[in-house]
């Protein structure tokens, strides 16, 4: 007996070692297969980046190019095929090629039902959300666009004073109040706490937004999701549940810390619900509470059939952390890009003067409270400066990308049939950089959209939130970003204050944005010199 146990123990490490070796070997074979594979796409669809080889070697070449040079592949595909109204295949090594339609087929793409083409699945896969977001997949709806649409966006008007107050306090702290000396600031590193504070102020109130531990947890949570998602994507599906936790261990720690702040609040609210004298807390909550926890509860009650899962504190907490990620990172990146675009444009000083004047003119108009929803909607130059930066330097390449979920596949307008599981869509990047849509397309022209745009109908200023088939930074159609109204509000208030309060020293060259697959990172470490203006 004893010797049997000894043998079992002695061989345990060997079994473990053998399993890991086998798993790595399978992963390797799978990657090799992927690199040469046609992904069951019909042979009449041309691949970009294959050079002279129209075979598996060509596909391997273009798959490798997709890692760091996706931009070149997109430019080639757009010029060669899209401009000739043809469909092409864009390799995307980590999670499979994408079929790119010409712009004339956008309306076809938008008309397809969600049970034929699913946009949500692409986003989930892009971020590997099932493995990178803890518990997010406990329910179907990890981020809850509904709460953003029905609670946050509706109540935005109530938050404008809070947002302005927080922007001012955060700028004082991170960009300083010295009107004499220029100060060198790391743009991304200062925008991160500033935007985190604004977003948390709106989501969870003043007390938590002033707690630096909490804002830093929220601002850093799954911040490097692009890297974790890429790493997880390399593994075959059956191994992802095992490797996922390895690549996301630091985020898991952050998530647990975030949860420890929220749990007492959630439990208090739930306890109140159980008290006999309070039948139901509604948005007309007598204590006027207006924060994410309240929205989540209100939302759960508003359903015809109340689902108990929606009251699980862990579900509420995990959805909050994913929402904080979606809201904070996208706005930090966008504002960082916009500030660099303004600083590096030849009209830097003039642009800041125009923005400042716009803010002051509207603030002086006695009929409007500065920074109210109505006042903000009149600040069309602020809209334009941000929209133009998103057009030129948006952080995702795709415009509308969907995955075929109909089991029998789908027939494209050109007659090609693509199987279930394939991704098909439009590249926003290509459309945003087409001279036919935007003259001088590679130039940052801050007030391009304030002057109005002829190809978009009447010459009217284009608002930041208005998506179209030539502006897809928030995607377009029924799955466009539900957070864009909130984003516009906080970004305009922040950039408006920056223009009002600071001079920015112009720079000669815009630091480049780095591509990693379809993620486009802003300058992360570069600095600018700023100085508070004398008022």
Residue 52: CB atoms within 10 A of its CB come to 8
Classify 450 as helix, strand or coil.
coil
| Smallest distance from ligand NAG to CB 475, Å | 14
Q: How far apart are CA 232 and CA 229, in angstroms?
A: 5
Of 71 and 463, nearer to ligand NAG (C-beta) is: 463
Question: Binding of ligand HEM at residue 331 (CB under 6 A)?
Answer: yes
Instruction: Point out the residue whose Cβ comes nearest to ligand HEM.
Output: 483
Residue 295: CB atoms within 10 A of its CB come to 25
Q: How far apart are CA 397 and CA 518, in angstroms?
A: 5
Q: How far apart are CA 521 and CA 70, in angstroms?
A: 13
Angle (CA) 223-252-222 rounded to 5° is 10
Question: Binding of ligand HEM at residue 326 (CB under 6 A)?
Answer: yes
Question: Binding of ligand HEM at residue 120 (CB under 6 A)?
Answer: yes
Query: Taking CB under 6 A as the criterion, which residues in 237-256 touch ligand HEM?
Result: none
Which one of the spans 76-84, 86-94, 229-237, 322-330 is the region binding ligand HEM (CB under 6 A)? 322-330
Of the residues 27, 141, 211, 372, which one makes contact with ligand NAG according to CB under 6 A: 211
Question: Binding of ligand NAG at residue 288 (CB under 6 A)?
Answer: yes
Residue 227: CB atoms within 10 A of its CB come to 12
CA distances from 242 to 23, 169, 245 (A): 10, 44, 6
Query: Taking CB under 6 A as the criterion, which residues in 437-476 touch ligand NAG?
Result: 456-457, 463, 466, 468
Residues 6+ apart with CB under 8 A from 207: none
Sign of CA dihedral 193, 198, 200, 205: positive
Of 38 and 141, nearer to ligand HEM (C-beta) is: 141
Sign of CA dihedral 430, 431, 436, 441: negative
Question: Binding of ligand NAG at residue 267 (CB under 6 A)?
Answer: no
- Asked if 367 and 223 touch (Cβ cutoff 8 Å), the reply is no
Query: Taking CB under 6 A as the criterion, which residues in 135-164 touch ligand NAG?
Result: 158
Residue 42 touches which member of ligand NAG, ligand HEM, none, C-beta under 5-8 Å by kind: none
Question: Binding of ligand NAG at residue 378 (CB under 6 A)?
Answer: no
Of the residues 50, 143, 229, 262, which one makes contact with ligand HEM according to CB under 6 A: 143
Query: Taking CB under 6 A as the criterion, which residues in 382-401 touch ligand HEM?
Result: 390, 396, 401
Question: Binding of ligand HEM at residue 337 (CB under 6 A)?
Answer: no
Question: Binding of ligand HEM at residue 473 (CB under 6 A)?
Answer: yes
| Smallest distance from ligand HEM to CB 132, Å | 15
CA distances from 19 to 27, 122, 209, 248 (A): 12, 31, 46, 22
Q: How far apart are CA 487 and CA 469, in angstroms?
A: 20
Question: Binding of ligand HEM at residue 482 (CB under 6 A)?
Answer: yes
Residue 463 touches which member of ligand NAG, ligand HEM, none, C-beta under 5-8 Å by kind: ligand NAG
Question: Binding of ligand NAG at residue 212 (CB under 6 A)?
Answer: yes
Of 194 and 500, nearer to ligand NAG (C-beta) is: 194
Question: Binding of ligand NAG at residue 527 (CB under 6 A)?
Answer: no
Helix axes of 212-220 and 313-344: crossing angle, nearest 10 degrees: 80
The answer to whether 218 is annotated as binding is: no
Total number of residues that touch ligand HEM (CB under 6 A): 26
Question: What is the three-state SS of 154-205?
Answer: CCHHHHHHHHHHHHHHHHHHHCCCCCCCCEEEEHHHHHHHHHHHHHHHHHHC
Of 202 and 500, nearer to ligand NAG (C-beta) is: 202
Of 239 and 300, nearer to ligand NAG (C-beta) is: 300
Q: How far apart are CA 343 and CA 95, in angstroms?
A: 36
Of the residues 105, 334, 337, 351, which one makes contact with ligand HEM according to CB under 6 A: 334
CA distances from 31 to 34, 37, 46, 63, 241 (A): 5, 10, 22, 11, 18
Residue 456 touches which member of ligand HEM, ligand NAG, none, C-beta under 5-8 Å by kind: ligand NAG
Helix axes of 484-501 and 187-204: crossing angle, nearest 10 degrees: 130
Residue 466 touches which member of ligand HEM, ligand NAG, none, C-beta under 5-8 Å by kind: ligand NAG
Residue 82: CB atoms within 10 A of its CB come to 23
The site for ligand HEM (CB under 6 A) is made up of: 119-120, 122-123, 143, 145, 148, 323, 326-327, 330-331, 334, 390, 396, 401, 473-475, 479, 481-484, 486-487
Which amino acids are annotated as binding site, given as ranges?
481
Which amino acids are annotated as binding site for heme, given as ranges?
481
The site for ligand NAG (CB under 6 A) is made up of: 158, 211-214, 288, 290, 456-457, 463, 466, 468
């Amino acid at each position: 007996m004893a010797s049997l146990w000894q043998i079992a123990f002695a061989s345990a490490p060997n079994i473990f070692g053998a399993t890991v070796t086998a798993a790595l070997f399978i992963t390797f074979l799978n990657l090799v297969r992927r690199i040469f594979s046609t992904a069951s796409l019909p042979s009449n669809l041309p691949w970009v980046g294959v050079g002279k080889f129209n075979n598996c070697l060509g596909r391997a070449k273009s798959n490798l190019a997709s890692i760091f040079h996706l931009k070149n592949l997109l430019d080639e595909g757009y010029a060669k095929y899209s401009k000739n109204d043809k469909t092409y295949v864009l390799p995307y090594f980590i999670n499979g090629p994408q079929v790119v339609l010409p712009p004339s087929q956008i309306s076809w793409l938008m008309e397809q039902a969600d049970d034929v083409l699913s946009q949500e699945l692409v986003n989930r896969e892009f971020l590997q959300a099932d493995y990178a977001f803890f518990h997010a997949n406990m329910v179907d709806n990890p981020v809850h666009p509904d709460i953003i649409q029905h609670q946050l966006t509706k109540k935005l008007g109530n938050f404008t004073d809070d947002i302005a107050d927080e922007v001012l306090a955060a700028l004082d702290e991170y960009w300083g109040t010295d009107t004499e000396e220029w100060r060198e600031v790391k743009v991304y590193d200062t925008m991160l706490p500033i935007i985190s504070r604004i977003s948390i102020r709106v989501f969870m109130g003043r007390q938590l937004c002033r707690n630096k531990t909490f804002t830093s947890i929220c601002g850093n949570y799954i911040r490097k999701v692009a890297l974790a998602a890429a790493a997880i994507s390399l593994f075959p599906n059956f191994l992802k549940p095992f490797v996922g936790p390895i690549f996301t261990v630091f985020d898991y720690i952050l998530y647990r810390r975030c949860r420890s702040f929220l749990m007492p609040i959630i439990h208090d609210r739930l306890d109140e619900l159980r008290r006999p004298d309070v039948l139901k807390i509604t948005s007309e909550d007598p204590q006027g509470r207006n924060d994410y926890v309240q929205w989540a509860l209100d939302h759960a009650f508003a359903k015809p059939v109340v689902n108990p899962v929606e009251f699980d504190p862990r579900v509420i907490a995990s959805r909050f952390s994913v929402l904080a990620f979606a809201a904070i990172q996208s706005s930090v990146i966008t504002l960082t890009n916009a500030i660099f675009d303004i600083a590096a444009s030849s009209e830097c000083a003039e642009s800041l003067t125009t923005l400042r004047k716009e803010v002051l003119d509207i603030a002086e108009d006695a009929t409007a409270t500065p920074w109210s929803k109505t006042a903000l909607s009149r600040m069309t130059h602020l809209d334009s400066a941000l929209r133009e930066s998103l057009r030129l330097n948006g952080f995702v390449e795709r415009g509308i990308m969907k995955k075929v979920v109909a089991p029998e596949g789908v027939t494209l307008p050109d007659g090609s049939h693509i199987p279930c599981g394939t991704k098909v869509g439009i590249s926003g990047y290509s459309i945003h950089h087409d001279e036919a849509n935007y003259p001088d397309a590679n130039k940052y022209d801050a007030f391009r959209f304030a002057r109005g745009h002829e190809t978009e109908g009447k010459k009217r200023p284009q608002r930041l939130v208005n998506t179209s088939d030539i502006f897809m930074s928030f995607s377009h159609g029924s799955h466009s970003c539900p957070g864009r109204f909130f984003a516009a509000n906080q970004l305009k208030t922040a950039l408006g204050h920056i223009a009002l309060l600071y001079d920015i020293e112009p720079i000669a060259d815009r630091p480049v944005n780095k591509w990693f697959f379809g993620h486009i990172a802003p300058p992360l470490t570069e600095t600018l010199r700023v100085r508070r203006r004398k008022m």
